[in-house]
């Protein structure tokens, strides 16, 4: 009796055994990245230092409860995005914490987007002591900006990047209605004011476009289910998708399914081009016999769609599956793995309409104008702008054309020395925890040479840069 007491209760010993077995499994599938874990811990500690243990436990428990509310689909599964928007900074910290402490119980798609930014903070965490007002900014992220933290996280990354290059950095307190820049930096008698702006994750047009595509997909699902053929579609819409009838894809499938064991175009018009091919169901289930595949995940999409569902692509999937659950996860939605698929279909979607490309390729001139309003009239300043490149190569090429044509004509009577335009891509990868690209456009105004101004603010400064942009290199 005494021995059992020293070892804990039955439930405590059971939980400890599950945790040990999970760690053994982690080691079997490649092990932990100790350096990454150290960076994430450094970032997590910067934030949690401003919450009591009780405060963080309360927020963390609320996140877990939110995850438990996601509907557990029975039978037919439609992959849904998992995200806790009401406390997004808490969600980010939860994902980082899970990566370190419980890596088999995490949402992989969101994880791959978030980890690079916090690893970037962790990489530069030692310089936080050179940033006056750093604690105040962290508290603002945890409270004032907790539902929309991305802009403030960018400010933190920029501040730490200046500090890492030897600048003494200070966050400037907001003083509404006065317009003030975000940061002032000082070095060797020089003083610069820094303003940071970050575009929203996706344009409103892109969100509407996605929802319209799901409207058309949802109308087609009953046809796919009734047919029961393992089919993957590759669809490119050539028009504003809001003008396409809900039954457009369903009607095409009714006419063309089932297809024979071949790849072919089942529709080609001014509205869309649709390719179809049969999924190799034997290869899919052979893979599932050998490997664990998280649900949802980029790996599952790629397993079903193959080279028609490349990493970073937009996909919709529907399937009947047998699932297994990783023991010891706090929310089942974080612990579900597909063991066998009885039937599946899916679609990769792209949009090449001129209107689509133009409206998603927001340039930064409006943000620049807003930034200029923030900086002093009589003191030198630098502007950092950030955007995520979620819309693909065509959109980024168009955005570059817009920026390059307008930035040269960018005129202000204020002493703005230059602009750094940071473009971020958190890649969805099937064979690594995450991969991240940061492309930087440099604009020195009136020939100013800004050698002491940081380039990368997420990727470590020591990382070699290559010519070109990531959306062209990987295309």
Convert 42-63 into a string of H (helix), E (strand) and C (coil).
HHHHHHHCCCCHHHHHHHHHHH
Buried b (16+ CB within 10 A) or exposed e, 236-267: ebbbbbeebeeebbbebbeebbebeeeeeebb
Say what the pTM is. 0.87
pLDDT at 9: 53
3-class secondary structure, 160:
helix
Q: Euclidean distance between the first and final Cα of the chain, in Å?
A: 65
Amino acid 450: pLDDT:
75
Orientation of helix 108-123 relative to helix 298-305, angle to 10°: 130
DSSP three-state, residue 273 = strand
The confidence score (pLDDT) of residue 328 equals 77
Distance (Å) of CA 474 to CA 363, 392, 442, 470 = 22, 10, 21, 6
Predicted local confidence at residue 152, as pLDDT: 96
Helix residue spans in 306-432 (DSSP H): 354-360, 365-374, 393-407
- 3-class SS of residue 322: strand
pLDDT at 7: 52
For residue 416, the model assigns a pLDDT of: 87
What's the token pair of residue 454?
A: 């940081």
Rounded mean pLDDT for each run of 10 residues along the chain, 475 residues in total:
46 45 46 82 96 96 89 53 87 94 85 92 96 97 96 97 96 84 93 92 87 95 96 97 97 95 92 97 94 85 92 90 83 86 96 92 82 90 89 83 75 83 82 81 73 89 77 64
CB 354 within 8 A of CB 252: no
């Amino acid at each position: 009796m005494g021995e059992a007491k020293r070892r804990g209760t039955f439930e405590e010993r059971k939980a400890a055994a599950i945790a040990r077995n999970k760690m053994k499994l982690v080691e079997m599938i490649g092990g932990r990245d100790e350096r990454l874990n150290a960076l994430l811990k450094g970032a997590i500690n910067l934030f949690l230092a401003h919450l009591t243990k009780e405060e963080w436990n309360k927020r963390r428990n609320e996140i877990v409860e939110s995850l438990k509310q996601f509907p557990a689909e029975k039978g037919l599964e439609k992959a849904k995005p998992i995200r806790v928007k009401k406390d997004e900074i808490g969600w980010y910290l939860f994902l980082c914490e899970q990566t370190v402490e419980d890596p088999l119980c995490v949402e992989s798609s969101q994880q791959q987007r978030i980890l690079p930014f916090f690893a970037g903070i962790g990489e530069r965490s030692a310089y936080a002591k050179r940033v006056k007002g750093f604690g105040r900014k962290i508290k603002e992220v945890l409270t004032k900006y907790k539902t929309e933290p991305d802009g403030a996280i960018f400010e933190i990354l920029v501040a730490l990047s200046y500090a890492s290059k030897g600048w003494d950095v200070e966050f400037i307190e907001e003083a509404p209605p006065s317009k003030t820049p975000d940061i002032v930096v000082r070095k060797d008698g020089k003083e610069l004011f820094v303003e940071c702006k970050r575009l929203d994750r996706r344009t409103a047009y892109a969100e509407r476009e996605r929802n319209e595509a799901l409207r058309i997909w949802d109308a087609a699902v009953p046809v796919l289910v009734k047919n029961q053929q393992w089919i993957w579609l590759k669809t490119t819409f050539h028009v504003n998708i809001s003008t396409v009838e809900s039954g457009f894809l369903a009607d095409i499938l009714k006419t063309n399914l089932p297809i024979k064991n071949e790849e072919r175009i089942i529709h080609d018009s001014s509205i869309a081009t649709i390719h179809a091919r049969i999924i190799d169901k034997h290869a899919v289930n052979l893979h599932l016999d050998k490997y664990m595949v998280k649900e949802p995940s980029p790996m599952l999409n790629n397993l079903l769609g193959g080279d028609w569902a490349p990493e970073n692509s937009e996909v919709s999937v529907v399937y009947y599956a047998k699932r297994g659950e990783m023991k010891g996860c706090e929310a089942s939605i974080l612990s579900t793995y597909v063991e066998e698929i009885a039937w599946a279909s899916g679609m990769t979607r792209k949009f090449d309409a001129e209107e689509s490309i133009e409206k998603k390729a927001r340039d930064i001139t409006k943000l620049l104008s807003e930034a200029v309003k923030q900086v002093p009239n009589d003191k030198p300043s630098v502007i950092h702008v950030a955007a995520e490149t979620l819309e693909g190569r065509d959109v980024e090429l168009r955005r570059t054309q817009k920026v390059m044509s307008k930035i040269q004509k960018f005129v202000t009577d204020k002493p703005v020395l230059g602009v750094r335009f940071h473009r971020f891509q958190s890649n969805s990868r099937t064979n690594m925890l995450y991969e991240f690209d940061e492309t930087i456009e440099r604009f020195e105004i009136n020939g100013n040479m800004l050698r002491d101004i940081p380039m990368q603010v997420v990727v470590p400064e020591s990382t070699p840069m290559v010519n070109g942009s990531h959306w062209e290199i990987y295309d």
